[in-house]
Chains A and B, each alone.
Chain A
Amino acid sequence: VWYHKPIIDEELLRSLPNLKIVSSAGVGIDHLDLKLLSRFGVKVSNTPFIVSTDTADLGMALMLASARRLVEGYQMAVSPDTEYFPANWLGVEVSGATLGIVGMGTIGYKVAQRARAFEMKILYHNRNQRNKEEESAVGAVYCEKIDDLLQRSDFVMLAVTLTPQTHKLIGKRELELMKPTATLINISRGLVVDQDALTEALQNKVIRAAALDVTYPEPLPRDHPLLKMRNVIITPHIGSATEDTRRVMVQDMAESIEAALAGRPVPYQVA
């Protein structure tokens, strides 16, 4: 399965009696009905490890691009109307700012490792607290309550898995808890954010800006207000889109498929 296609539903599964495995590209499996697949005796695999560093890299890229207004700046630099660069055209500083990571799994932790080198103060919210060595290696402070993280952060980065618990995790209430100077970065899934609430929050300057590699749906309808806002950066779900990573992903998927067809234990199988 690549980019959620084909859609795996009951109809498809009934029409493929000899289907042994569905191998999904990437780590997220929120688009698959695991119970349904299990009923049909079909195994599921993903590519859990290889995507982490590229996704963390993209999270950092989006944070920096949004803070320093890179896309707007580029547009100014190449616009036929630009005569000079205004002296009072400013972004916000990343170095020394506070980053709140929501979801400190493999990807979230790699973001923390990178952000620390920018002398950022790191807060995190997670289902479970990480151990002391892991925390002190990146200087991360646990926020048991997400509200605490939201109120103190200059940048809020979402790196959770999409589950029923994280669906619309960030809504109107959460956005209002954030600083008006804060930036929201989403590298998890579009549905983790209440998109309508986000649109309204950005329009009313409840938060400063947003940078989204993921939306719901993908792509957004062409008349969506998020596409027109100056303080929003949207990228087309390129979290794992590097040549090196894609090559390994496909190799991993092939490995899982071969094992399933040979009746061997399946690497990267999703329980």
Chain B
Amino acid sequence: LRDKIQAIYLWWHKPVIDQELLQSLPNLKVIANSGVGMDHLDLKLIAAFGVKMANVPHAVSSSTADTGMALLLASARRLIEGCRVAVSPNMEYCEADFLGVRVTRATLGIIGMGRIGYKIALRARAFEMKILYHNRTRRKEQEEQLVGATYCGKLESLLQQSDFVMVVVSLTPQTHKLIGKREMELMKPTATLINISRGAVVDQAALVRALQDGVIRAAALDVTYPEPLPRSNHPLLKLKNVIVTPHLGIKTEKATRMITEEAVENILAALHGLPIPSEVLPS
């Protein structure tokens, strides 16, 4: 069977692509990743075996942007807490002073303005949000104007001005623990942190302390490190001002279908010796 395998479709990091596996599959030509994050893959190793690598950037962006907006709105309006109040057996009257923070016309700082970050900007603009962004490279003027986004060359500037900070970067050695104690202290005490990138982009221990001490208002995390978080009394699972979701990113029927279609397209191209639409090269 090993000799017959020419392609691997990777689903949620399985199987693990290591030296042993690559050595045991002599005819492997291509690996297609069912997402866009590549941080779980050793791209140099894969390339060393002459195996091509592809991801699925087009299929994931809208769903992930939707997840980001869902978390932003849920956190701002205290949806989860509200739900609990509404269904709780003890709650006969609801508090007249149950208040959230306004989203419309608030300032959103997007860290990482790739495909997903840009789609978030498009959505946020419809809520008349003021949009700031920080990125490795600045976007073109027309792209900025279309979403009304202002470039912040310094991350500090974005953090100080934002009511909502949305983290949408890839996980790389440069973005590991990008948001730590210092960054959170620069944020407004009324600000909300939303992470839809990778758990390791945020210094989780520092986040816990910041939330406990009121350094920031709240956090909404679709990703953590590890996933899932250890059950034994992890503070992030218990804090009132934290929403944790189980990596919902692209978990819709439509998105998973589109991802598989895009992956198959890439696999077929590789097997026919044609250019691969979404090839990923080791940087």
Contact = CB atoms under 8 A, between A and B. Distances in A.
Nearest to A222: B89
B70 A234 contact: no
Nearest to B124: A117
B48 interface: no
A95 B228 contact: no
Interface residues of A, number: 61
A56 B251 CA distance: 25
A261 interface: no
A236 B95 CA distance: 9
Interface stretch (B37-45, B101-109, B181-189, B201-209): B101-109
Contact of B92 (A2, A80, A222): A222
Contact of B251 (A64, A65, A91): A91
A92 B78 CA distance: 22
A119 interface: yes
Interface residues of B, number: 61
A34 to B, nearest CB: 24
A90 B94 CA distance: 32
Nearest to B93: A219
A243 B228 contact: no
30 contacts: A3-B96, A56-B104, A57-B73, A57-B77, A58-B73, A61-B74, A61-B76, A64-B66, A65-B70, A67-B70, A68-B251, A70-B71, A70-B79, A77-B229, A78-B244, A91-B251, A93-B62, A117-B125, A118-B69, A219-B92, A219-B94, A227-B87, A235-B82, A236-B82, A236-B98, A238-B77, A238-B98, A241-B99, A243-B100, A244-B101
A243 B66 contact: no
Contacts of A54: 102, 104
Interface stretch (A13-21, A81-89, A145-153, A161-169): A81-89
Interface string A183-204: 0000000000000000000000
B228 A84 contact: yes
Contact of A236 (B89, B94, B103, B253): B94
Contact of A241 (B71, B77, B126): B77
Contacts of B99: 241-243, 246
A240 to B, nearest CB: 10
B251 A219 contact: no
Contacts of B145: none
Contacts of B69: 60, 64, 118
Contact of B66 (A68, A76, A218, A220): A68
B272 interface: no
B245 A119 contact: no
Contacts of A242: 76-77, 99-102
Contacts of A82: 228, 231, 246
Nearest to B80: A74
B63 A93 contact: yes
Q: Which of A115, A218, A220, A241 has the most CB of B within 10 A?
A: A241
Q: Which of B85, B87, B252 has the most CB of A within 10 A?
A: B87
B248 A70 contact: yes
B256 to A, nearest CB: 7
A115 B70 CA distance: 12
A94 interface: yes
A99 interface: no
Given A74-B80, A91-B248, A237-B94, 9 more contacts: A53-B128, A65-B79, A70-B243, A91-B251, A118-B66, A219-B86, A233-B83, A235-B83, A236-B91
A238 B84 CA distance: 13
B253 A235 contact: no
A218 B87 CA distance: 11
Contacts of A3: 96
A203 to B, nearest CB: 16
B127 A71 contact: no
Contacts of A41: none
Given A71-B83, A117-B125, A218 B94 contact: yes
A114 interface: yes
- In order of increasing CB-CB distance, the 6 nearest A-B pairs are A117-B126, A61-B73, A64-B70, A236-B94, A95-B62, A93-B254
B73 A64 contact: yes
A57 B245 contact: no
B247 interface: yes
Nearest to A89: B251
Given A65-B70, A236-B94, A245 B255 contact: no
A73 interface: yes
A112 B123 CA distance: 12
B245 A77 contact: yes
A77 B248 CA distance: 10
